Structure 1
Amino acid sequence: MTYQFKFTTKIRNPKTFLYNTGPISDITDTTWNRPQYYTVTKVKNGRSTVLGTKLTTPPVNVGKRSTPDYATLAGQALHKLGRRRVFAGQRADAFHVDLGSIFDLGALRPFNEAHLISMPNMGGKNAVQSYNVHTIALQVPIDEVSASGDRPTDPMSADAVIGVWATASRRKGRVYDSKLGKYVGNGPWVQVSRLGNPLFNEVIVPMAEKDAWNSAHPANDAKYTKYVNRPELAGLLPVLYPGVFPNLAAYTKPRADLNAILMTGIPAGVVPGFQNYTGPVQSDMLRLNVAIPPSETENSLGLVAGDAAGFPNGRRIGDDVVTIELRAIAGLTIPLVDPSFTPDGAASAVEDGTTDTNAPLLETFPFLGLPGGGYQTEPGTTSAS
């Protein structure tokens, strides 16, 4: 089953460069010069059902003069489609990662002194601090997406597990229409991007194969299994941090733990009382056991910290997926499938040193915080007024 979002942008006044020609106090205001609308369609077993049309996004949070009451504008863009809720628009980014350090030869600032090219230890720096992101949020009833068509209650039932991924598509070609004075899309829709497990494409897939991976369906992911079974980063850690990961360096078996986490789901019998196995087909997608209730107190390290409602059982906004995946690649999860292996001490401590210092989450849909205004936001802050 697929939920499709198709967007259309309108320019009200083509004679001005301005995004808005006055304050925007309502999403219907004509002072907003570039409104955007979208349609949501559900496709199941080849049958399409339009769930909503001409749904409005909010404007971006320009600043105090242009969007003086952004919370109201964002609230007007929350749409209810039967038992579903949907929102598409700008929100505060809740992700945190030290990109500048990790992509500088695999450096982790809290462990700088142990790196092959040593530097003083220091705390991590969130590379996406105070960023805004364009978000598509969809809330659906569990019985609409479960295989059985009801709300599963047994976590060990195969019907309790769903697999989820997202894709983006664009028209195959763009041609300049001189009569319209703009480029128009032509040809079939072509998939140009996808996302399942976080950081899969960035860290697992080699650079030369990223475009091919982005255009592929998860059912065809078997060709990438070799990169999961023997991930490049797992081989680099003992080299970049001499003497820190001797057990990982000596481990030569295919990484069945990572294969289960990323490619098939974790089968029953690996973690007591838990499974999110979708079958033997190798495919990168988020897997969620919908029979496992939300945790009363979330642990941002998810399943590896005993919180079965967290990543890699789905992905909550607050899950520290960077640390979880770093520790898994470092060998912390190998004993789940190979009890003879003893993880290196650093495997349970490795991290990028960032924490969630972003704008606070909301307690209600769409959960991501309000975006920072263009006028009032300063780099490194979380202001969203």
Structure 2
Amino acid sequence: MTSTDIRTLLDRDPAVLVLEDGTRYAGRAYGARGRTLGEVVFTTGMTGYQETLTDPSYAGQIVLQTAPHIGNTGVNSEDPESRRIWVAGYIVRDPSRVVSNWRAEGSLDDQLASSGVVGISGLDTRAVTRRIRSEGSMRGGVFSGADAELDADEQLRIVREAPQMAGRSLSQEVSVSETEVTPAVGERIGNLAVIDLGIKQATVENLARRGFDVHVMPQDSTAEQIRAIDPVAVFYSNGPGDPAASDAHVELLRGVLRDGIPYFGICFGNQLFGRALGFGTYKLPFGHRGANQPVLDKATGRVEITSQNHGFAVDAPLEEIVDSPEGFGRVEVSHIGLNDRVVEGLRALDIPAFSVQYHPEAEGGPHDANYLFDRFRDMVVDALSKKGTHA
């Protein structure tokens, strides 16, 4: 490290992370200066920080990277998963002093600053992670610049007045404002209605490669607007927020299922599918976020290493086939999380519909679950053949 590098690190403005239980962690400013508030969560991915930052599922959350070195490969215009950075704030231990990658077009620090994302570096991220694991995800604030000089009691008051994630609806903040269409690649199957609750670009590309004309539609789309594109299936994307605060999406999905339209949902779409079937959802203590979550596919007995980002889960029986409380026939839990026995997938046995809690399209890796897009394609083709129709 050169003397210039040392001065650069020492010259960073002081910053502080304040948790709602009163715990404080001193560090140095990273990215934009100011204050930011949100639910503090941690993610265990060692790569793919650019995909993490641009995942709309992280809206409203201050994201801590458990991997100590962040920013090594810089940033580029090819890896983002959406049109902007969505995290409310960013926490890292050791930001890279230099950018070293042939694809880099800039530094992560500069992009965070230009995007107005307030971050903090140089603190003990392991200690923060252990705090969250023992006490659960909680509201927090990052304060830097002039806000770092606020009285500690004032900073804590500001944090405790921030909204809770439970009961919060964020779909309207991350969804497209008008429908965007991506044409099918290869043999065309038909139009796919995608309700954008915080979709990632990799999802759109994976669906298009399976032969769907992908219509990414606003989160407040109506049943009439869905029917207007004559869809062969409906897809609910990942996204942020509490599924219990999305009753309109649940009612829309129940109409889709009653019409016999094939359905596939991921992450938030899994939770909404569970509620549409009549099951409850609940908040996890600290959620699943990262690229190393083991999941059992009950149909094959195979264990997949999956990428996940969620703080809520479906409450459904793990080992038995049950009748849907809302009258959609038999339902089974298709996938189970092996760390904590959380529902990771649902499959309806009497209608063409299934969902998974994790992210099968995760471009930052792993890719064990890409087969689910093929499973969805096969389900839609089978449903069309039974109807005697095909686009």
Same fold (TM over 0.5): no
Greater radius of gyration (CA): 1
What is the TM-score when the length of structure 1 is the normalising length? 0.28
Relative to the length of structure 2, the TM-score reads 0.28
